[in-house]
Structure 1
Amino acid sequence: MDTKYVHGYAAPEARRLGDQADTLAELLHAGTAYPAGSRVLEVGCGVGAQTVHLVAHSPDAHLTAVDVSEESLDQARQRIPGVDFRRADLFDLDGEWDHLFVCFVLEHLPDPGKALAHLKTLLRPGGTITVVEGDHGSAFFHPRSEHAQAAIDCLVRLQADAGGDGLIGRRLYPLLAEAGFAGTEVEPRTVYADASKPGLVTGFTRDTFTAMVEGVGETAVAKGLIDDAGWARGIRDLYRTTREYGTFHYTFFKATAHRTPGGAS
């Protein structure tokens, strides 16, 4: 799988992924629970940030979680004993599964449609897939700042340069439909944070979204997408949204679909 994880694998990114998963657990995992004994495959599990919540919601399912990074898998194994963690490239996966869970993976792939078409072959007839992705174009905030927007746009450009798509959330329906899945349903899962929701201000606006943008600053400046002063101003303005009268909005998209009982599209 020819892909590059634009956020890197350093310790701060692992912490950010954990903060994000824990803060958004109810938002992203509500409605997802798998029956006892069902065979569930989590694709692109990383450090296990989402795996924790899959286990909590479906404690009696048989969960296998795969990732391309052995370093990330080592952290996941320490964090969540009892899960079958395996190193595997998405396109090397085989077997037959009852359910697939794919969270924040397609945004990093150069051909997400091809990936979904392959994942479909892993599902038993009637099996389901759940896909969760964000869309950085859905971020809007107060106080308004062109500098903050420019910093976010740098992240989107860098992700595109790495072969991904930071705006992929809006594409989930056509991607799944074109890959041959049936019954595709997509719903927005919106985060809105202001001072009346301090947990979201800290856990999402500051420690998830702003930290994600801030983490690509050195690369954005080195590639000439923005200068040092512009970057510093953009990040400073993003942090302004976490203060007393700041607000922040972002939309994730959660899609579910299935393979038809006859196995055809």
Structure 2
Amino acid sequence: MTTPIDYVHGYSAHETRRLGDQADTLAALLHSGTAYPAGSKVLEVGCGVGAQTVHLVTGSPEAHFAAVDISATSLSQARARVRAHAPDAHVSWHQANLFELPFPDAEFDHLFVCFVLEHLAAPRQALTALRRVLRPGGTLTVIEGDHGSAFFHPDSAHAHAAIDCQIRLQSTAGGNALLGRQLHPLVTGAGYQDVVVRPRTVYADGSRPTLVNGFTRNTFIAMIESVREDALAGGLTTPTDWDRGIRDLHRTATDDGTFHYTFFKALAVNPPAG
């Protein structure tokens, strides 16, 4: 059996808040163009704490969703989040490994996979396995980030080094924080057709305070800050260099700073069998 790697960001209350901030701040950017017809059956793979689920069900209120995650704690949080924000949503909840999904073949019309593949040791095999539960002609939507796409002003070698610590830690755990740039060959290699990948760019400056707070500070910098102890324990940096890098990252969120990051969104179709 192939299993996911440990979630590098952990399962703390801080991480739950960060995921919520990210989903809410980027909802229009990431979910634009994603809407499912009434009565269609949609599987969200790796729903986590339900941060994206809320926006999925809100955008497609008449669709029927199944949300899967390997963590029982995350599923409990997801259920509570959706109940609070979308109490009339049609959602069933399932604890399962995505390589051993408890659904019949061709059960779903659509699959939605967001910020999951980067945490898997075998992302292409995961996409291939998911085809079993997607009907022929059904659609796949995948969204991933790419930490190599982060650039900012004022530029700082120390800030880039702090980001690199997170990238290296995720790689050591078997994941890939640079996966966004690989989506097209990954999805194509897993056997899907009509694959289209497009960038979804976040740009934040002093004229966009919502993005500065919701993304630069509360999503991206908060994510990098969370790996401090692991980076130090692994000898990837020193306390002095780390603290300088984090200070410089926060400098990009001031009135005369700027921050840029790119997500990648893939759409594809499951071809007929044979």
SS at match of 1:24: helix
The question of whether the paired residues in 2 share the 8 Å contact of 1:108 and 1:164 is answered with yes
CA–CA separation in structure 2 for the residues paired with 1:2 and 1:127: 25
Match of 2:176 in 1: 165
Cα drift, residue 3 of structure 1? 1.0
SS at match of 1:4: coil
Matches of residues 94-243 of structure 1 in structure 2 within 5 Å? 94-95=103-104, 96-243=107-254
RMSD (CA atoms): 0.7
- 1:164-222: per-residue Cα shift (whole Å, max 9, x none)? 00000000000000100000000000000000000000000000000000000110001
CA–CA separation in structure 2 for the residues paired with 1:214 and 1:171: 26
Of 87, 93, 107, 1:85 maps to: 93
CA–CA separation in structure 1 for the residues paired with 2:177 and 2:156: 20
CA–CA separation in structure 2 for the residues paired with 1:258 and 1:191: 27
- 1:6-57: per-residue Cα shift (whole Å, max 9, x none)? 0000000000000000000000000000000000000000000000000111
SS at match of 1:80: helix
SS at match of 2:78: helix
Identity of aligned residues (%): 64
CA–CA separation in structure 2 for the residues paired with 1:18 and 1:244: 24
The question of whether the paired residues in 2 share the 8 Å contact of 1:39 and 1:62 is answered with yes
Cα drift, residue 80 of structure 1? 1.1
CA–CA separation in structure 1 for the residues paired with 2:210 and 2:273: 44
* Number of residues of Structure 1 aligned to a counterpart in Structure 2: 263
**1:104–1:144 distance in 2 versus 1, CA, 3 Å:** same
Match of 2:273 in 1: 263
CA–CA separation in structure 1 for the residues paired with 2:258 and 2:15: 24
So what's the TM-score if we normalise by structure 1?
0.98
SS at match of 1:189: strand
- 1:231-251: per-residue Cα shift (whole Å, max 9, x none)? 000000000000011000000
Task: Give the aligned residue type for 1:263.
Answer: A
Match of 1:5 in 2: 7
Query: Greater CA deviation, 78-87 or 160-169?
Result: 78-87
Cα drift, residue 2 of structure 1? 3.6
- 1:96-129: per-residue Cα shift (whole Å, max 9, x none)? 2100000000000001000000011211010000
SS at match of 2:8: coil
Deviating 4+ runs (over 2 angstroms) = none
Task: Give the aligned residue type for 1:84.
Answer: S
Task: Give the aligned residue type for 1:87.
Answer: Q
The question of whether the paired residues in 2 share the 8 Å contact of 1:124 and 1:263 is answered with no
Of 19, 29, 32, 1:30 maps to: 32
CA–CA separation in structure 2 for the residues paired with 1:3 and 1:218: 19
The question of whether the paired residues in 1 share the 8 Å contact of 2:4 and 2:119 is answered with no
The question of whether the paired residues in 2 share the 8 Å contact of 1:136 and 1:250 is answered with yes
Cα drift, residue 224 of structure 1? 0.2
Unpaired runs of 5+ residues, structure 1, are none
Cα drift, residue 255 of structure 1? 0.2
Task: Give the aligned residue type for 2:95.
Answer: R
